[in-house]
Amino acid sequence: MSEAFEPVIIGFTCNWCSYRAADLAGTARVKYPPNVRLIRLMCSGRLDPTFVLKALAQGADGVLITGCHPGECHYIEQNYKALRRYLLLRRTLTQMGIEPGRVKLVWASAAEGVKLAKEITTLVEEIRALGPLNWPGRVKLATGENGTAVSQHTQSIPEEVTA
């Protein structure tokens, strides 16, 4: 394949900060690669980890989760709940055969259009370096001895899981 790999990334944004940062990046004409498609939530706390799995399952190569900076949540503290879920999700993803680096959490206030654009640019490069997700290629569903299905990783996962 000579064509460069263009990753597809789904991004989740908070209505109060990062979605507005995206608006601001637009108004200020800050450029970033077109690989990320943003979905608006009311709060990063709304992010059900299922959404991330759904995106990856449907063919996304990476997922960006964004929210207000710690201490700046529009709903007082719900971004901390997003943080907790994110840390757990990274572990789960590893167990499912996915590099945790494919999912990234970024804090971006409504004023940080430039920062958001920069983070998106970085993430696109990181996912490009990781290559296509190709999830089925790395998880082989097999039947265990007692009849239950077990998944076996066909690829090794880099040891970069956060504690």
Q: Between residue 35 and residue 74, which ones bind other proteins under the rule CB under 8 A?
A: 37-43, 45-51, 53-61, 71-72, 74
Q: Which of 83, 92, 118, 135 binds other proteins (CB under 8 A)?
A: 135
Segment (H or E) for 12: strand 9-14
Q: Which is nearer to other proteins, 148 or 159 (CB)?
A: 148
Contacts (Cβ under 8 Å, ≥6 apart) of 64 = 9, 10, 11, 12, 36, 103, 104, 106, 119, 120, 123
Helix 78-95 vs helix 49-57: angle between axes, to the nearest 10 degrees? 40
Report the residue count for the chain.
163
| DSSP, res 110 | T
Site for other proteins (CB under 8 A): how many residues?
67
To other proteins, the closest distance from the beta carbon of 48 in angstroms equals 4
Sheet of 62-67: strand order equals 36-41, 9-14, 62-67, 103-107
Q: Between residue 74 and residue 133, which ones bind other proteins under the rule CB under 8 A?
A: 74-78, 81, 85, 96, 109-112, 117, 132-133
Q: Which of 18, 22, 64, 107 binds other proteins (CB under 8 A)?
A: 22
DSSP-based three-state secondary structure for 114: helix
Q: Which residues bind other proteins (CB under 8 A)?
A: 6, 8, 10, 16-17, 19-20, 22-23, 25-27, 29-34, 37-43, 45-51, 53-61, 71-72, 74-78, 81, 85, 96, 109-112, 117, 132-137, 139, 141, 149-151
